[in-house]
Structures are given as structure tokens and as C-alpha cells.
Structure 1
Amino acid sequence: MDLLKSAYGMLPRRLLGSRSFRGPTERGEQVVLSTKTAVSSLLCAAGSLQPCSDVSELSYYGLSPPVYPSPRGQGSTSVRWASAFGQAGALVSQMTVEEKVNLTRGWPGTCVGNTGEVPRLGVPALCFADGPDGIRGQEFVSAFPAGIHLAATFDRDLMLQYGRALGAEYYGKGINVALGPVAGPLGRVARGGRNWEGLSNDPYLAGAGMGAITRGIQDAGVIATPKHWLLNEQEFRRRWTPDDGDAISSNVDDRALHELYAFPFMDALREGAGAVMCSYQRANHSYACQNSKLLNGVLKTELGFEGFVVSDWDGQMSGVASANAGLDLVMPNAGYWGASLLEAVNNGSVSDARLSDMATRILASWYYLHQQTSYPPPAIYTNLEQHFPVDVQADHAKLIEDIGAAGTVLVKNVNNTLPLKHPRFLCVFGYDAAVKASPWHNRDRYGGGYENNHGWNTFNGTLITAGGSGSTTPAYVISPFEALQARVRKDRGVLRWDFYSDDPTAYLNAEACLVFINAYASESFDRPSLTDEFSDRLVLNVASWCANTIVVVHSAGIRTVDAWITHPNVTATLFAGLPGQESGHALASILYGDVNPTGRLPYTIARSESDYGALLNSSAPPGDQPFPESNFTEGLFIDYRYFDQHGIEPRFEFGFGLSYTQFAYSNLSANILPTADIAEYPDGEIPIIQGGHPSLWDTIAVVKCTVTNTGDVPGAEVAQLYLAVPGAGVGSPVRQLRGFGRVGPLVAGQGREVVFELTRRDLSVWDVVKQGWRLRRGRYAVWVGGSSRDLRVKVEVVVE
């Protein structure tokens, strides 16, 4: 007990009001400290526990270690940041304390978020807006495919074009800060309500998307805001509420934190992200927006982040503690700052240097994107205001259609059912086929809030997006029914439909029956199931009489299909994702063969929901638990890594997708570059670029492979590279994605070489003892193929 008291005495005073430890808080509440979860780390810090170097032990049973003070942004990571900080610093040096405080808080205004302004120095209020796949709640804007759909393209070029188009619309509306892209949640929980906003369940694929979208948004002059930093992996108990109490604590080990959850954010930072949004939930028992380890330690020190950290809306849980832990801007109002922050600076609880750093970081991002010169004024309005609308749609509809088609995944195609050969008699069934299906559901889909814009979900029409702050407000929607009707009309055929019934009328002369179902999800709650009885019954009823039943699933994430996928009359199945406003055109181009499908699953589809084990549901203890916890005891083993580790056969594996042609792989080679410096980078060296130490991004090895179209029709292949790290211990995946490339389109018989460049980070693991990325010596197994289970060719790379 004396040792325990000593450990408690070690707590830095600034942590005591942070809601990480429960004593008197700034809410004036008393909070109980969980002895098992807190005491172990305190004793470890006191030098009493042997496995202190085993950070997984510290993380599962302890707290985030304190990291203070908050690093000052100095523009040291690039010439461009140096110039931005020079200008920002000069401006902040002219400000009063009151003016600097005003910059760090939100104010009411026309935008979702609005910063304070300093009129006498020409600093305007900055405009923030949702969301990651389109500007929410506005007119004359585009509804882009969701992040999960974009990830299914496995196409870096489309990801970059997506970011640039999205950024152009934000710029055109005068929005300074776009709240996206998303890599948190990563998709740890199969039923997670916001997985669809992110860019797959794999950190490498998500990182590719995060980097490309961030670059594209900022190429347009808009500040990108990668979110949610970090470990925001479920909606259930995700935030503090008066009724439930504290948010869930995501308790993760140090290696998984780096190799899974922070990994994709590194790509966004490397592309110069000007802002990062911290999340609602607790992380290792400390709220994410006041977690000094995550903000000061990992983000601002280890990853060299120069921009500003903004809270999720109403996500700030303390005043002094959040300021000292690295939060720079609170939204949407003053939160615990405003006059209270002014008081804290005046009494020394928060230093003037920390306040100046907050203001400087915000303005540095403004200068970094050159928004101080000729930036359009905000053109954000409510539906009740009369105004002159600013049309920012440009020609983005074509890109939306292209991405919609490229992210559509064909998972079953018996006897070349698809593409359709100009059928003269088609049946279309299901609530998801039309824009508005049911006469008894009259929800307004064109709003922009949570109440009236929960996506185009069950009985409310075709699903093009999902719900919450990431939803979109399309100028129009091309439904599958509209697009198919145009095709049938052109062929002078017959079309029959039933959008309402789960047992529609049989038309025995139909050449094909298309059944449309969907799987909806939303912010604020996790999915109750990965299937639904109505949809399964609909498919089975149609298949009972239609020998050519084609199922189309618009889905916000994983959707199990074993209730009907093996039925002999279900001849083809497509996962059509969340394709955005050009949904029908994108789908029809695949169905009729205008486009050969290249989409690949960005997650694993199991045979049964139980196959996901503890990763199926959001977690929290049963009963009245004021401080719920979710222990990420699976470590690195989520999605396909979990299935590989446990020898579970999926229905459709990560990376899977069929084509209308076939491909062969040959001539695989792998070589360490002769110029590659494989020596470890110096310990403790401060990163000089955003995204980590610069040598992490050096190309170490090159893998080459020839892909040949062995079929009869033109098509493109998505070649995927997986590798196994040598000597990384039992906590390492069997294999993990470390490269992908789109090859083609190739005509029949044509071959082309695909080249994969592997960086130091790709070949490294996070060393919890050394607290750095380490390149392992030994033989790296490298596979290239069509999915995580379709591994065609193998080679080894030797690092010595």
C-alpha cells in the first residue's frame, strides 16, 4: 500500500483534472479510479513492475503515459511549413492574449464550425464543413461515393482525383477546412456504425487513400482534416453523456497503435495535412482530445505534425488539461476555453507560449494553403435563406460514375451470367432499386442533419450514402431502376418491377431478375446485424422461381450472404457499395459490360457472423458501468489477419473480386535496391517531415511481376502484394498487404509488368522496447496475387 501511495504521488499535477485520472475534475464531479487498470501503470512508472518494456502490458492494464510539454510548431519539417510558420508567428506576435484566445475557439456562424477572427490584423473566421464524401446540407454540390467504396477501387489515381474534385467543391463554397478524410474507425468492429466513412479495414490500403485524398484536397487550396485521432472504433458509448457517464476506453497495446491505427494517418501527414481531428472516446483511459501521449507524444513529436488539432464537436472534456495535452482548437463553441482559457493563461495554468503555439498552428495552416490571398468568402446557407447559390459541381458527375463502377465488386458469376446480353425482358425487385420505394415512409432525404438525412436506407430508396455527419446532399440521384429502364427502353424490351413486397409476382418469361437489397449504417449507433430477414427472404423468394436471379447489394460495410449465396438460381452477385449520386449509371455500366469490373472487397465477408468472434460487436461490460472499457486484446489481428491467424475460411476474402476475363501471374522478382541504406535511423532524431522520420519513406526493395490477360475480353487486374515479416514473433500477421497496382486495361493475350516499391516502413515493425520502427533482418516472404487468399506467385527478399 505504501508503494501504491508512492505511485499515486508520482502523478503530474496537470493530469489530475484531465478525466484520465479520477479526482476532482473541471466538471466539479468526483470520479472513481479503476484500480486494476490504473495502478499497474503507476507502479510500472514507479519502477515496481518488471514488464515495463512490454508496452502491451502497460496499455492493457494501465494508462497513457504523460508527455509534456506540448511541442511548439516551428515549421522545421519542410521549407513550405517554415514559410507558413514565419508568417503566422509574425502575425501572432502582434496579438493580445484576448485575440489569441479568440482564435482557439468556435463561434456561431453559417458553417458547421467557425473560428474566432482578428479584424484589426485581417484574420477572418475560418469556415469548417462536413463531410468526407461531399459537402453536407448544401445546394448545387455533388454526392461522391463513400470512403469505403473508394477503397474498393484499389486505385490510387482515382483516389487522388476524388480528393481534388472534393477539394474543388469545398474551395468553391469558400470552406477553409474540410472535415475528412477518415481512417478512424479503421473497421476493427465488424458492425461498427461508421466503418463506411473510412478507407477499408487494412492500414496500408487506408493509408494510400488517406494520403491521396489529403493531397487532392490540399492541391485545391483547402485544409484537410484527417479524423478521428485515434482509436474511435465503435459508436456504442463513444462519448460522455449525462445519462451514461464516461465514454468507452479503447485500450490498445503500443505496437497495434502504431502498426494499425496510426499507420494510415502517417500517409495523410506526409502529404502535408493542415489539421487533425481528435476523437470522442477515451484511449487507454484518457480522453482522446486531452491524451498527451497521443497528441503531444505520437502526433506532434513522433510524427512531426505541424498543423492544428481540432476537437470533434463537443468532444473537449476539460480546459487546462486539454490545452497542455496538445489540443489547439475547440469546436463548435468555447467549450471549457474562452474566458476560462484567458484566466488559465493569466494565472499560469496554461503558458502564454502554449497559447501562442495554438494560434500559430491554426494560422500556419491558413498560410500553408495560401488562404490569406483571394480565398472565396463562405457561400454556406440554410434552406430557409434566399440567396444566390454557388454551383460547384463542375463535371464531377463523370468521375463519380467512374469511381462508382470501379468500386463495384463482382463476387459471383455463374456461367458468364454477366455481362447482360441486351435482354428483352427484365424484372427489378427490392426496396433498394428506386430513389423512393415505400409509400409509408416519407422522410426528407435532402436535409443535412441527423434527423432527416439518414441515407437512402431500407424502404426509403436506393442506398448511395449512409447516415450522420458523413452523409451527403446530392443535387439528384440516378437510381438503378432509372438506369435499367433506359437500357431496356433502348432495347425495346419489357420491364416489370415491385419495390415493396418480399414475395413479388412471378414472371416466368423473364430473362433475368435483379434483386436490390441494402445494408444501412450510421454515426451514433452500431449495426444490430450484418444481415436482415426481409432482404434474405426477398432473395430466396425470387430465386425460388427465377432461374437467373442477380443480387445487387448496396452496403455500408460487411453484409453476410450465406442465407442465399449458394442457391443454384442465384447466378450473379455484386457488392455495389455506397456509390454516390450516379449509382444507377455506374451499376448499369457493369451489368451491361461497358466496364469490366475491377472492384475488390475492402473487408472480409464471413460465412457466419460468429466467425468474427469478439470483433463482431462493439464492446462494453453489461450492466451499469460508469467507465466502460474495450480491450483490444487481438493486437494486430483484425479482419483478414484475424481469419488467417485462426484458420477461418471466409465466404469472400479481403481483396477478392471477379472479372469478366482471367489473368495469369509470372516472372516475379524481388530485389533490395543497391543504393538502399538499410542501417537503422538514429534513435531519438526529430522527424524533419510530417509523417515520421524521413527514412521511413525511402524505397528499400522493388518487386516486379508480369500480369497477363488470359481470357477473351479486355479488362484490368488489381495485383496485390502481401508479405510476412521475419522474426517478428507470434504477434505478427501471417501476411499483410504492402502493395497494390491496377494493371491494364489489357486486351486478350496482352501482358504487362507491374512494379511495387517497398519502403522502409513497409518492411518494419514497431519496436516497443526501442520505441521506434525497426527493419528486421532475415527473409521476407512476398506473395503477389488477386486477393489475400488468391496468392499466385511467391518470392523472398533477404535483408542482411
Structure 2
Amino acid sequence: MKRIGLGWLVLGLMSGTAMAQTAPKSIDAADARARAAEAKMTDDERFQLLHGIMPIAFPGTPPLPRADLKPTAGWIPGVPRLGIPDLYETDASLGVANPLQLRKGDYSTALPSGLALAATWSPELAFKGGAVAGNETRQKGFNILLAGGVNLARDPRNGRNFEYLGEDPLLAGRLAGASIRGIQSQKVVSTIKHFALNDQETLRNSIDARIDEKPFRESDLLAFQLAIEDGKPGSVMCAYNRVNGDYACGNDFLLNQVLKRDWGFPGWVMSDWGAVHDVSYFAKGLDQQSGAQLDKQIFFDKPLRAEVAAGRVPMERVRDSVRRILRSLYAVGADAPLAEGAIDEAAHAAAARAVAAAGIVLLKNDGDALPLAGAKSVAVIGGHADLGVLSGGGSSQVTPKGQVTVLPLGGRGMMGAWARQLYMPSSPLRALAAAMPGAKVEYDSGYDLAAATAFAKQSDVAIVFATAWSSEGNDFSMTLPEGQDALIAAVAAANPNTIVVLETGNPVKMPWLDKVKAVVEAWYPGQEGGAAIADVLTGKVNPSGRLPISFPSDETQLPRAEIPGWGQPEGSQATATYPEGAEVGYRWYAAKGTRPLFPFGHGLSYTRFEQSALQIRGGAQPEATVTVRNVGKVAGAEVVQLYLTRRGAIDTRRLAGFARVELSPGESRSVVVKIEPKVLADWTPRGWHLAAATYSFTSATSAGGAGLDATIRLPERQLGR
């Protein structure tokens, strides 16, 4: 594919307001077009839109209907006579995936992981990253991106946490919404997924996730609700797991009652691939069967036609599903003809690097060990830092330009073929050497402990790169694999100036924490990750990432010390109960009075900030103002984190609002933080209810920290459903 500049300046300057100008002036116009087009369709054309295939020739599946279909996640034939294009679906939210590299020579911009994006606490960067992914989706000839992962990190061992946006519904919802807006600004439909409670990968196809409605509404469902309100995704993808007994894709409560009735969602619900078990799912709210050859049969064709013919499903329900699909295409302009076009690789790479750098979290920095200064010799050890940076596995894995390194792992079940470590060709070693031309920067693999420690002892600074691979289809312990804890401890014993850089998709335990000078969490930083890490380590970029997920000391601090169903064969029946309810992550630690290893919101900087003059204002949109001043010597970004700490006589801890602000040395600014009313409210059978009470807030540097306090009296309000 030819790639040239596309005017990234315009794309990069887009804001939420600018994006809105690219959408149709009236959603009513999209609805009207959908009604008009659907009315002209034959029944065969209507049913044709309700099921699709994964256009890959899997062993044992029927042959593909057309020889020219390019390998991708999904395909549904369009209706050319009505100007309705084929629906070409591609994974995923971290860029445009190329499954198993079946599209030879096709590569894409590999964005940092979801947790890395969440660590920026920046809806603006989320929008720009979404615009990159959406632009490449459109330019590669696809019109639906299977993005928008917003499941909460109830368990830090979930193998898909790296795709998602952390443990807090407000942070996750706001960033997912911004990313979806960015994607859809490029005339591409974005999904939001996986609806809902897909909070572990162990037995994901059979686990029954159980939770009461009130805490469900105030946690996982709240994240989806906020993201749907902000982003207006064209489609919702339901999950594999059961929710309170019923499969998510055939769950009347989730799809008909919550999504379509209470939230008024106007788009369509598509299944996850292989998640449909019965034709009855259509009546329960599912509109489209995706990857249908992975199910026992194509339920939404002949079996559904039979249900309609027998009068058990009204034909109007079929027509409604078709209108929902068409309406979403028209609302974002995704009905534009499919054609491949040029991509501004350099600009997209710069965007990926900016997100990666902004999401890196400085967890520890004793004695100002960082940024690196004055070191004449630097020992870089482990983590394949000579090759590149690690990425997560599964359907979200993106293949970037350049020489990637793939280490096959294998494994059990369907996902075994996808189990492989892929290293993006952005070497931290080479980036550090380029950034420190006056220093001797050399590498040791860490394979031999004695050799690595001898090497470390001879250097001014030792930097250990530690990696932990995670992936869709599996959950993982919080222990660094392959003896890396022992490597770090040994290097730290040999060199008192040891720095650890983590490339992980989940929190990890750190038995060596008090032995090292500094710890940096780089997540899976994407194709420009090596350069971004070097930027932070050398001080070219001041770290500004804040944790979107708590780092527990060990499993005993979790609501469930063991993952439900861990080790059992696929298909085993098990139940995951969530007695913590809405108290996910940092709220769990606050309720139990325990301190995690690193709290939600934690992150250090090379400068210092002070806050003052916190004030709260009420009204339909409550907000806080606080003055932030950079009292250090270098420019940097502070994240204002506003927590609800008390409501009436009840102590609580909820993120109520946040804002990221960039400040030069000595600069101060009054920052406005919008407060989400639903975070202050309770879910009741009548909807969201804000009680008349005195509300106390703290502007703190983390969920576990103290800060400025302010209170306000708010009147009773009903906020709707």
C-alpha cells in the first residue's frame, strides 16, 4: 500500500467539537435515511445483514463465499443496489490488526496498550489515538473497527486488562468515549465491548459472573454508560461469559432492558465471535451474529427465518435490527465506498510516541536516580531490550512496520495458535545509546545470572528491563515469569544504582522493590516504545503517567485470592461472584483499610506541583476549580484527581472528576474539573438518585493520598436512567 502525507496537522488538531463537525448535522437525518433504505430492501437482503463470517479459511469450516475476500475479523455482504457497502470489520482498539499476518506485507501503526493510554488520564490523547486507528481502518478498506474495550479491571490478573482502561468507571468511560469519537471521526463505526462483566479470561466461554443490580449499575455498567454517552458508538459487542445466569449475548436484562430501554441506545448489538448458542438470542436483544462459522450453526439465517414464519419473532423486530445497522453507518459516514488510500506513517508514529511517553508511570525514584545524568557507563539487562518492546497477544495485536521478533509460545485451546510474544522493532537499547552519545551503553540478555551481575557491577548504572506477556484467552499470575525477580535482585545487589523498567499488561509483585533506586512502568508501549522509554529515562520527557489500576502487594489483598475456574478445562462450569460490588480496585482497598503496593492515581514527576484554593460549585453540572502551580525547575504535567470522600454521614472514595494540565516552571493555572453527577448518586429502581446531603471532596495525588478538602451542600435530584 502506498503511504504518503495526509495532512496530519488537521487530524492532530481535532477536538471533540471539531469531530462533531465531521458527523452528520442531525442524527435524525441518519435515522430517516435508515428507514428509507430499509423500506426498499427485500427480506433476503434484510436477513443478509444479520449474520457475517470471519473471512479466513479455518479447517473444518465451509469454504469462503468469495475468493477475493481479504483475511480480517469479519465480513457481511452489503446491498450494492441501495448503496450499502459490505461491512468489513477489523480488530482492534490498539490499531488495525492483521490476523496471523495473513495479509502479506500489510502493517499498521501499533498504538500503546489500553492501560498505557489510561495512564495518560487524557481524553485529548485518547481522541487522537482513536483518530489514528480510525484513519488507518478507513484507508485500508475497512469500515468497522472492533474497538472500545471498557471492561473494568476487577482482577489484576485478567489477560485482557492491557486492552482495557483500568479499574475506575469514570476514567475508563471518559477515555473510551473519547477514543470512540476519534475513531468515528474518520467515517468508521466503532464498537464498544465486551458487554458486560468480561473481567476474566479463565473459562470466559462458560463462567457465570454474578453481581447484584445496584453495584453492577454503579461500576461496570456505569463505565459503559458514560462511554456510550460520550462516544456514541455505532455498535455494542456483547461478551462470551454469562451474567447472572444468562449468556451476555442472549441476556434480555443487559440488551433489551439496560442498553436499549434505559439508555436508549440506537445502534446495533453484535455478538462476539463464537458467542451465539441459540436463535432465541435475537428476541433477547442481539441484532447480528458475528463470525457465524465459529458457532454451531448460522442461527440468524434459516433458524431465524423459521421463527419469523412461525410468528414467534415479529418481522418488525428484524426490520428494527436492520435499521439500527444502517443508522449507525449513516451517522458517521461509514457508508462511504470502500477503497484503500494513503496513510501518513510519520505523523501516526509521532502520535503513538506521544501517547507512549505520556502514559509511562514513574513509580519510584529514590535519590533522583532519574533522569539519567552523568553516567558514563550504562548496563542494559534483560527484556530483549536489544530487539524492541513487548506487545500483548490476541486479537488486538498489531503488526508494525519493520523487523518484528516473534517468539511462539503455543498453548491449549483455540487461542493456542495466537500465543506468541511479539516484540515491536523499537529497541530501548538503541534509543538510549542514541540519547546518551557520551556514555557507554551496552546490553546483556540476563540469561546467565552470574554474567549479568558481573556486567552490572562494572557499570555506573544498571537498567533491568522486565517483561510479562499477557493475552486474550488466558489469565496470568502477578509474578514476573522466567526468573526475572531473581535477576533484578541479583543485579541490585551488584549495583546500588539499579533501575527497573517494566513492560507488562498487568500489575506485578515486586519483592525487590526496596533494593532498587527507581521503577518505571512502561506497559506495552507500542511501536515507538523504545524511543518513548529513552525519552523518559533521559529527561527529554518529564514522566506524567498516573496509575489507572492499583498495584496490590500480593494476591491476599484481592477480593479473590484465586481466579475462579483457574486450571480447569475449557468449557467447565464455574461461577465468579463479585461480593465487592461497586467497590472495585482502590475502593476495595479503602473499604478494607489496606494499602496496596502502589495506589490508583500514583505517579511521580521530575518536577513538583502545589495545589491551592479548591472550590466546589453545584448546579446541573457540578464542578471544582483548583489552582495548580509548578514549583520545580522543569516543565511537566500534573493530573488533578478529585475524589468524593464523604456523602452525608457515609465515608466513601470515588473518583468524581479529573483534569490533566501542562505547566512550565513557575507557571500556575486555575483548573476546572467537571464532576460527574452519577458518581455522586445511587442507583435505585427509579434510576440515578442524588440525595440531598453535604458532599466532601479531596483533590489528591492518588486514591490513597491526602490533599485539599472542600465541601458543598447539594439538593436532591433525580438524574434519569
Task: Give the distance between the partners of 1:727 and 1:622, measured in 2 at CA.
Answer: 46
Q: Which residue is equivalent to 2:58? A: none
Q: Which residue is equivalent to 1:477? A: 425
Task: Give the distance between the partners of 2:500 and 2:567, measured in 1 at CA.
Answer: 38
Q: 1:750 aligns with which of 651, 667, 673?
A: 667
Task: Give the distance between the partners of 1:595 and 1:86, measured in 2 at CA.
Answer: 49
Task: Give the distance between the partners of 1:574 and 1:457, measured in 2 at CA.
Answer: 23
Q: Which residue is equivalent to 1:709? A: 630
Q: Which residue is equivalent to 2:224? A: 265
**Deviations, residues 589-630 of structure 1 (Å, cap 9, x unaligned):** 101101111011111112222111416524579899954211
Q: How does 1:69-108 map to 2 (within 5 A)?
A: 80-107=26-53, 108=55
Q: 1:610 aligns with which of 523, 542, 556?
A: 556
Deviation, structure 1 residue 106: 0.3
Aligned residues of 1:606 and 1:612 also touching (Cα < 8 A): yes
Deviation, structure 1 residue 452: 12
Q: Which residue is equivalent to 2:275? A: 315
Task: Give the distance between the partners of 1:620 and 1:88, measured in 2 at CA.
Answer: 46
SS at match of 2:513: coil
Q: 1:519 to 1:146 in 2, by over 3 A?
A: same
Q: 1:598 to 1:492 in 2, by over 3 A?
A: closer
Aligned residues of 2:131 and 2:182 also touching (Cα < 8 A): yes
Task: Give the distance between the partners of 1:277 and 1:190, measured in 2 at CA.
Answer: 23
Q: Which residue is equivalent to 2:61? A: none
Deviation, structure 1 residue 284: 0.7
Q: Which residue is equivalent to 2:161? A: 195
**Deviations, residues 49-93 of structure 1 (Å, cap 9, x unaligned):** xxxxxxxxxxxxxxxxxxxxxxxxxxxxx9733211211111111
SS at match of 1:207: helix
Whether 1:566 aligns to 2:514 is yes
One-letter amino acid matched to 1:223: V
One-letter amino acid matched to 1:493: K
Task: Give the distance between the partners of 1:450 and 1:87, measured in 2 at CA.
Answer: 33
Q: Which residue is equivalent to 1:8? A: none
Q: Which residue is equivalent to 1:690? A: none
Q: 1:366 to 1:624 in 2, by over 3 A?
A: closer
Task: Give the distance between the partners of 2:73 and 2:631, measured in 1 at CA.
Answer: 52
Q: 1:268 to 1:448 in 2, by over 3 A?
A: closer
Aligned residues of 1:433 and 1:499 also touching (Cα < 8 A): no
Task: Give the distance between the partners of 1:168 and 1:474, measured in 2 at CA.
Answer: 24
**Deviations, residues 701-726 of structure 1 (Å, cap 9, x unaligned):** 22111112222332221110000352
Aligned residues of 2:97 and 2:399 also touching (Cα < 8 A): no
**Deviations, residues 457-485 of structure 1 (Å, cap 9, x unaligned):** 99789xxxxx9999999996212112112
One-letter amino acid matched to 1:791: A
TM superposition score normalised by structure 1: 0.77
Deviation, structure 1 residue 347: 1.6
SS at match of 1:544: helix
Q: How does 1:585-624 map to 2 (within 5 A)?
A: 585-614=531-560, 617-619=563-565
Task: Give the distance between the partners of 2:662 and 2:388, measured in 1 at CA.
Answer: 38
Q: 1:657 to 1:456 in 2, by over 3 A?
A: farther
Q: 2:499 aligns with which of 542, 550, 570?
A: 550
Q: Which residue is equivalent to 2:10? A: none
Q: 1:414 to 1:308 in 2, by over 3 A?
A: same
**Deviations, residues 166-213 of structure 1 (Å, cap 9, x unaligned):** 1111111121110011012x1112211111110111111101111100
Q: Which residue is equivalent to 2:210? A: 251
**Matched length:** 657
Q: 1:574 to 1:460 in 2, by over 3 A?
A: farther
Task: Give the distance between the partners of 2:29 and 2:43, measured in 1 at CA.
Answer: 24
Task: Give the distance between the partners of 2:357 and 2:550, measured in 1 at CA.
Answer: 20
Q: How does 1:483-562 map to 2 (within 5 A)?
A: 483-488=431-436, 490-491=437-438, 493-503=440-450, 504-507=452-455, 508-532=457-481, 534-561=483-510
Aligned residues of 2:393 and 2:472 also touching (Cα < 8 A): no
Task: Give the distance between the partners of 2:394 and 2:552, measured in 1 at CA.
Answer: 34
Aligned residues of 2:406 and 2:421 also touching (Cα < 8 A): no
Q: Which residue is equivalent to 1:781? A: 696
Q: 2:262 aligns with which of 274, 289, 302?
A: 302
**Deviations, residues 617-668 of structure 1 (Å, cap 9, x unaligned):** 2457989995421121211122111111111111111100111111122111
Deviation, structure 1 residue 119: 3.3
Q: 1:468 to 1:310 in 2, by over 3 A?
A: farther
Aligned residues of 1:92 and 1:356 also touching (Cα < 8 A): yes
Q: Which residue is equivalent to 1:796? A: 711
Q: 1:231 aligns with which of 197, 213, 233?
A: 197
Q: 1:665 aligns with which of 583, 593, 611?
A: 611
Q: Which residue is equivalent to 2:3? A: none
Q: Which residue is equivalent to 2:644? A: 723
One-letter amino acid matched to 1:326: G
Deviation, structure 1 residue 447: 11
One-letter amino acid matched to 1:191: R
Task: Give the distance between the partners of 2:628 and 2:690, measured in 1 at CA.
Answer: 29
Q: Which residue is equivalent to 2:365? A: 413
Q: 1:613 to 1:293 in 2, by over 3 A?
A: closer
SS at match of 1:159: helix
The answer to which structure has the higher strand fraction is: 2
One-letter amino acid matched to 1:264: A
Q: Which residue is equivalent to 2:14? A: none
Q: 1:278 to 1:625 in 2, by over 3 A?
A: closer
Q: Which residue is equivalent to 2:653? A: 735
SS at match of 2:647: coil
Aligned residues of 2:204 and 2:241 also touching (Cα < 8 A): yes
**Deviations, residues 731-782 of structure 1 (Å, cap 9, x unaligned):** xx721111111122231x3322111122432322211xx3300011111110
Whether 1:283 aligns to 2:198 is no
Q: How does 1:24-43 map to 2 (within 5 A)?
A: none
Q: Which residue is equivalent to 2:145? A: 178
Q: Which residue is equivalent to 1:134? A: 95
Deviation, structure 1 residue 376: 3.0
SS at match of 2:48: helix
Task: Give the distance between the partners of 2:52 and 2:141, measured in 1 at CA.
Answer: 17
One-letter amino acid matched to 2:638: E
Aligned residues of 1:97 and 1:342 also touching (Cα < 8 A): no
SS at match of 1:594: coil
Deviation, structure 1 residue 263: 1.3
**Deviations, residues 303-333 of structure 1 (Å, cap 9, x unaligned):** 11000100000111110x1111111111112
Q: 1:724 to 1:475 in 2, by over 3 A?
A: closer
Deviation, structure 1 residue 534: 0.5
Q: Which residue is equivalent to 2:587? A: 641
One-letter amino acid matched to 1:287: Y
Whether 1:772 aligns to 2:687 is yes
Q: Which residue is equivalent to 2:338? A: 376
TM superposition score normalised by structure 2: 0.86
Q: 1:178 to 1:786 in 2, by over 3 A?
A: same
Q: 1:403 to 1:281 in 2, by over 3 A?
A: same
One-letter amino acid matched to 1:266: Q
Unaligned runs of 5+ in 1: 1-77, 240-246, 380-388, 438-442, 462-466, 677-698
Q: How does 1:108-119 map to 2 (within 5 A)?
A: 108=55, 109-110=69-70, 111-119=72-80
One-letter amino acid matched to 1:301: R
Q: 1:279 to 1:301 in 2, by over 3 A?
A: same
Task: Give the distance between the partners of 2:392 and 2:168, measured in 1 at CA.
Answer: 33
Whether 1:363 aligns to 2:322 is no
Computed over aligned residues only, the root mean square deviation of the Cα atoms, in angstroms, reads: 3.0
Deviation, structure 1 residue 345: 1.4
SS at match of 1:735: strand
SS at match of 2:192: coil
Task: Give the distance between the partners of 1:592 and 1:642, measured in 2 at CA.
Answer: 36
Aligned residues of 1:132 and 1:178 also touching (Cα < 8 A): yes
Task: Give the distance between the partners of 2:664 and 2:467, measured in 1 at CA.
Answer: 33
Q: 2:345 aligns with which of 393, 397, 402?
A: 393
